[in-house]
Amino acid sequence: PPQPPLHPAGLSGPRMEPRPGLTPGVAWAAGALHLCRGRVAALTSSRRELSLSAGSLQLEHRRDLEHKRRDFTSCGNKKLYFDTHALVCLLEENGFTTQQAEITVSALVKITDANMDIVYKDMVTKMQQEITVQQIMSQIANVKKDMIILEKSEFSALRAENEKINVELHRLKQQIMDEVVKVRTDTKLDFNLEKSRVKELYSLNERRLLEMRTEMVALHAQQDRAVTQTDRKIDTEVAGLKTMLESHKLDNIKYLAGSVFTCLTVALGFYRLWI
């Protein structure tokens, strides 16, 4: 029969299309794992079939055992282990009538038969037991043979595929480690470049801040000089105003003193004229 197409690593089965976003090695590993799962599912189904066959054999064995138990109970091997006539005589000696003694013994016999039937349901003869054990052992041997054949056929292929998958996974692991080292190196380089750029920006900002502080100090000094000059001008104007006020005050005192003397002179003149 025609063989299915082989994968690049030599595994047989349907070709798995690589998923988008995955590398070819990872996609191949996913396909191999999917194929391995399919083999495991087939192995599980075969085991389930074996277990079902064993269960059917056990059910058939139970049916045969029930049939043999019925034959054993109906074979007429029941025996009574006491003398019924002696028991009837003993009951008659103790005051029972013949009819009462026979009825009591017959009831006791029925109860004993019922109990023996219950006991016989769980019993078989030694010959039947040996035959059943031989049948079970032969069935177990057949199941063991089937399991050995299944192990040789399925487990060997599964083990080979598992080894191939392990080799491929090891290769993928090494590839991933190389990629991780490469990414780590690139990241470290980018981090160092970014760190140097941040340091340059920090030094530039420090220089700008120093320049701004110098400008602010110069502005504060200029403002202080302007305020000092303004204070001096204000003090000069205030001093001039004070001098002007003093001069006006002296003039007013002079005018007031002259007016007072004039009024006194006029008053003295009128006083002399009046006298």
Q: What was the pLDDT predicted at 198?
A: 92
Q: Is residue 62 part of a domain?
A: yes
Task: Return the sign of the alpha-carbon dihedral for residues 134, 137, 141, 146.
Answer: positive
The reply to whether 70 falls in a domain is yes
Do 72 and 116 meet the contact criterion of CB atoms below 8 Å apart?
A: no
Percentage of the chain exceeding pLDDT 70: 69
Q: Name 6's bridge partners.
A: 12
> How far is CA 105 from each of CA 87, 110, 112, 128, rounded to the nearest angstrom?
7, 9, 10, 34
Please state, rounded to an integer, the average pLDDT across all residues of the chain. Answer: 76
Q: Is residue 126, in this structure, part of any structural domain at all?
A: yes
Structure tokens at 205: 């900002």
Q: Is the pTM of this model over 0.85?
A: no
Percentage of the chain exceeding pLDDT 90: 19
Instruction: Please tell me the total count of domains within the chain.
Output: 1
Contact present, 79 and 198 (Cβ < 8 Å): no
Query: Residue 140 belongs to what domain range?
Result: 24-187
Tell me, yes or no, whether 132 lies in a domain. yes
* Burial class of residue 5 in the structure, from the number of CB atoms within 10 Å of its CB (0-12 exposed, 13-18 middle, 19+ buried): exposed
> Torsion-angle region of residue 200: left (phi > 0), alpha (psi -120 to 50) or beta?
alpha
The two tokens of residue 29 are: 């590993």
**Range with the lowest mean pLDDT among 81-85, 106-110, 147-151, 169-173?**
81-85
User: Each residue of 156-193: pLDDT tens digit?
Assistant: 777 788 888 999 999 999 999 999 999 999 999 999 99
* 210 assigned to some structural domain: no
Checking if the pLDDT of 57 tops 70, the result is no
Q: Is 17 part of a structural domain of the chain? A: no
Structural domain contains residue 60? yes
Q: In terms of pLDDT, which residue wins out, 272 or 67?
A: 272
| 222 domain residue, yes or no | no
The alpha carbon of residue 242 and the mean position of all alpha carbons in its chain are separated, in whole angstroms, by: 91
For 112-163, write each residue's pLDDT tens digit: 888 888 877 777 778 888 888 888 888 888 888 888 887 777 777 777 888 8
